[in-house]
Amino acid sequence: MLNFAKVSAASKGALVRADMTQDAPEPEPEALTVRGVSTDGRDLETGERLTAYYIGRGERANWRPDMSPAVAAALGIAKTRAEPRNDELDALFEARRADNGADWSRHDRTNSGFDFVFAPHKSVSLAAEFAPTEAERQLIRNAIHGASDDALRYASRDLGVARKGHAGEKGAEAGEIGWVTFAHDAARPTLAAQDGPDGATYLMDAPIAGDPHYHLHNFIPNLVVTDDGRVGSIDSKALTDNKVYEYGALFQARLADRLTQLSQLEQAGGEVWVREGGKHESVQ
């Protein structure tokens, strides 16, 4: 399933970020990170940190794993392998650069981006929630992340088009887009609240528990970088109802494919199954 919404550039980025990260604390600076030390004086990383580094996913938020360097530079993101910081996210939700708070380009953005929400069937969420081991839980959740990235890469062929001229009057050209993903593990009841009589309206969490429902919020900044380095905005006309259904269906199909591979892994007693060019081969 896919739902999407526009994020207004007039929003207060800190409020949007607090909702997206579920108020999870930002990662500690590298200098403050506590590590173990071996008897010969070598620093030892924890398994959690190593896993997050190699798969490129933190529990709180993560950048697009294969973010184009040109897109990262245009957004002011210095390290796409590092977990996003609060000030970076706050700026992006307001259509500003993550590094210095400057505008993305000389053209104003009414919308800072789009929130694409991919949600698997509830049975998948429950399978992860009640998995017998933490490793199995993370395998299922990583399959959800992978399917989400697959669907977004597919969608980028439509969304990664920069308009030329006012409202695209001079046409458009293909380019690259980026995104940042936030994982939520429950269906949280929300309430619409307006920030003052003339302010933006935000969805705020109701103070009651939600059902287990693992889903991903993907914030796609309203920015496209073309091959020649030109920065434009996403042509939102591409987001037709049919396309929304198409992206959602692709997510479900890719998730089914990835979960099937996990099932084959279990049945094979530890072999990893890899799909290359439409063929399957086992790798020990």
pLDDT at 269: 55
Which alpha helices (H) appear in 59-195, and where do they start and end?
Answer: 69-75, 86-93, 122-129, 134-159
Residues 6+ apart with CB under 8 A from 210: 186, 187, 188, 189
What is the C-alpha to C-alpha distance for residues 47 and 244, in angstroms, rounded to an integer? 38
Q: What percent of the chain has pLDDT over 70?
A: 70
What is the C-alpha to C-alpha distance for residues 109 and 9, in angstroms, rounded to an integer? 6
Please say if the pLDDT value at position 166 is more than 70.
Answer: no
Cross-strand partners of 282? 273
User: What one-character DSSP code corresponds to residue 69?
Assistant: H
What is the C-alpha to C-alpha distance for residues 143 and 120, in angstroms, rounded to an integer? 10
pLDDT level of residue 268 (50, 70, 90 thresholds):
low
As a whole number, mean pLDDT of residues 89-113 equals: 92
As a whole number, mean pLDDT of residues 215-244 equals: 90
Please say if the pLDDT value at position 137 is more than 90.
Answer: no
Structure tokens at 126: 């429950």
**CA distances in angstroms from 66 to 4, 146, 149, 178, listed in the order given:** 22, 12, 9, 9
Please say if the pLDDT value at position 283 is more than 70.
Answer: no
As a whole number, mean pLDDT of residues 188-205 equals: 61
Angle, helix 86-93 to helix 13-20, in steps of 10 degrees: 120
Q: Which of 77-81, 84-88, 196-200, 261-265 has the lowest mean pLDDT?
A: 196-200
pLDDT at 261: 86
Most confident of 58-62, 126-130, 265-269, 274-278: 126-130
Residues 6+ apart with CB under 8 A from 60: 21, 24, 26, 27, 83, 84, 182
Residue 152's Cα: distance from chain center in Å? 9
User: What one-character DSSP code corresponds to residue 140?
Assistant: H
pLDDT at 35: 47
Please say if the pLDDT value at position 38 is more than 90.
Answer: no
* Residue whose pair of structure tokens reads 């395998």 in the numeric block: 139
Q: Are 104 and 95 in contact (CB under 8 A)?
A: yes
Please say if the pLDDT value at position 95 is more than 90.
Answer: yes
The mean predicted confidence, pLDDT, of the chain is 80
As a whole number, mean pLDDT of residues 276-284 equals: 42
Closest listed residue to residue 227, CA positions, set 173, 152, 179, 178: 173
As a whole number, mean pLDDT of residues 202-211 equals: 57
Q: Are 118 and 148 in contact (CB under 8 A)?
A: yes
As a whole number, mean pLDDT of residues 155-179 equals: 82
pLDDT at 195: 62
Structure tokens at 102: 């400057």
